[in-house]
Each structure stands twice: as C-alpha cells, then as structure tokens.
Amino acid sequence: MESINAESPEWEAPGSQKPSTKTTDASFPHEASGVNSTRFIDMLARQGIYLRGSRGRVKCPFHDGKTDTSLSIDSDKGVFYCFGCGVKGGVRAFAELVGEPWATSRLSTRASARFAVQARRREAEAKARAILTRRKDERDDTLWTQWCDANTTAMDAAELLGLFFRHPDLAEEFPHLLEVTESEYTEAVWQKMLAEQRYAGEVL
C-alpha cells in the first residue's frame, strides 16, 4: 500500500513549509473542525489508553514496540506521534487508524456533554487506580520493613538462646535475661508471621 505524507503533531505557522515524512499504511488529513480534546480522550479510553494529565507517553497500539512510552500524546492540541513507528496525526487520523467512523458534522450539545462526563469519569477512575496502586506499594514497603526488623530481632534472640542452651550455667546466672530473650524471640516470630499474613491479605 502506498504511504501518504503525514501532518506533524507540532504546530506550524501558516504558510511555513516543512519536509514531509512518510509513514506506513496511514494517512493524516487535517482536522476539519478543529481540536476536539473530549472526543480524543474518549477514543483513547476505548483503546485502553489513559493519561494522567493532558500530555503523556504510552505504549503505541499501532506497532509491536519494545518500550511502553513510544507514543506521545497531547489531548489539548489533539495530536499524537510515535517515536517508534513514526505514526502521527490529529484526532481524525487517530479515529481512522483505530477504525472508528468520523462524522464531519459537529456533535450536538447533548452528545458533547455526555462525552465530557464519560471522559471525566474515566479520568477520575484512572487517578483512583493510580492512588490505590501507590498506596499498595507503600503498604508493601512498610510490611517488608516490619518483617525485616522482626526477623533481625528473632535471629539475635535465637543466637542468645542458643548460647544459654549450650551453657546452662549462664542461664542460672542470668535468669532474668533468659526470660527477656525468650519473650523477645516469641514476639519477633509473631510479628514476622503477622507481616506475612498481612502481605498475603489474610488479616487486616
């Protein structure tokens, strides 16, 4: 299939000329009705692409790339560009690439409002997922630290108990220390088990 010159995702002054770049199996006509960021965000969501802000870099759905950040997107400007396969264009070009119909007429006020609500809902869901993921990571880090501290305490106590076991005379000479060490060992083992169960989700 003959490749067609693509429009650049960067803004160009009227009348300026820029060498055209060829891409594979894609055409990028100019937007007929300007940038529609709401419609762009909605289409991105249907492809499983969510941006934390108006701009971001994600995995390109148009080629099997080795990185997850090759596709650069600006929803405010309504443009995208892939540093891997070179595909680029605007909202209409994205619609054609993913196989969605593109109507030349403007959306009705009701339809625009519906798309805006859906876009805000998806954005809120993406932010919520990011917050939950961050909290889970922080929780896992905390549990790991607790487990390591308890494990160190248990090992130190076990070493001292082993000394008391090998030398009964020390146990008779320092009975209070033996009692404290046994208590520390028991508590440390319990804290290790509790951290493991919390990590596994068995207890709160």
Give φ, ψ of 5 to 5 degrees. -60, 140
Q: In the chain, which stretches have pLDDT less than 50?
A: 1-34, 104-105
**Of 62, 59, 55, which Cα lies nearest the Cα of 96?**
62
The whole-angstrom separation of Cα 38 and Cα 22 is 28
Query: Does domain 5-106 sit in CATH 3.90.580?
Result: yes
What pLDDT shows up at residue 102?
65
The alpha carbon of residue 56 and the mean position of all alpha carbons in its chain are separated, in whole angstroms, by 12
What pLDDT shows up at residue 111?
63
Q: Alpha carbon of 59 to those of 7, 37, 50, 100: distances in Å?
A: 21, 20, 11, 20
What pLDDT shows up at residue 40?
81
**Of 85, 93, 83, 82, which Cα lies nearest the Cα of 39?**
93
What pLDDT shows up at residue 36?
67
Rounded to two decimals, what is the model's pTM? Answer: 0.42
